[in-house]
Amino acid sequence: MCGRFVLTHPSEALAQLFEAAPSNDLPPVPNFNICPTQAVHVVTSDEGGRRLQAMRWGFLPHWYKTPADGPLLINARADTLAEKPAFRAACRERRCLIPASGFYEWTKDRDDRRLPWYIHRADGAPVAFGGVWQAWEREGERLQTCAIVTTDAAPSLAHIHHRMPLSIEAADWPLWLGEAGKGAATLMHPAPDGVFDFHRVDPAVNSNRASGPRLIEPIAA
């Protein structure tokens, strides 16, 4: 799964990288502790081209009466994405990319204390999470919302957590975004070993109120 992530790359650089027109309401970066329900950067594509825009991290199916009605859907499993009522239409019609610099996962020690790890691309480039999005509207309130698709973890990361976000390589962005026809399902697999690196970080990140670059600095494991 993915419950927290990091974005340090500037919005202007992301717009250039993804060849997307940026919206004027993008959330501030850097953010070293992005939490569910916060606004995140999302790349979408339609006949007008690609757009880099802000969306709520927490997918809202159209039948939710309020944003708090039902489970908080921050992740969507790749193996059931096309079957779940909440995601199956978005899987076909509304796929997106969610830029990140890295993400957090946790293990536990012998005393059941949560030990955070920071996971990032070994080459330092931004990660493009595969995602799905949904426009939700009720009684005049309208929200653009998204969820991160997850797969089995890469073998080198499985000792930290058995799931990880779907990572889409740059050559496959057109296929995931629907620009290159059908076949996006072929992309829903774990990242190969060697793409991601990881290190232990300070338990300060266990608090969703923590912030600052110290959260991703390595500590002794």
Q: Which domains does the chain have, with CATH numbers?
A: 5-216 (3.90.1680.10)
pLDDT digits (tens, 9 = 90+) for 140-153: 899 999 999 999 99
* Beta carbons of 31 and 10 less than 8 angstroms apart: no
pLDDT digits (tens, 9 = 90+) for 104-121: 999 999 899 999 999 999
pLDDT band of residue 93 (cuts 50, 70, 90) is very high
| pLDDT (average), residues 61-69 | 95
Cα gap 150→147, rounded to integer Å: 9
pLDDT at 140: 86
pTM of the entire predicted model: 0.97
pLDDT band of residue 220 (cuts 50, 70, 90) is confident
Beta bridge partners of 99: 128
| pLDDT (average), residues 15-43 | 98
- Mean of all residue pLDDT scores within the chain: 96
Nearest to 194 by CA among 220, 159, 156: 156
| Two structure tokens written together for 1 | 């799964």
Residue ranges in the chain assigned as alpha helix (H): 11-17, 88-93, 173-176
33's CB contacts (< 8 A; 6+ apart) are 4, 6, 205, 208, 210, 211, 215
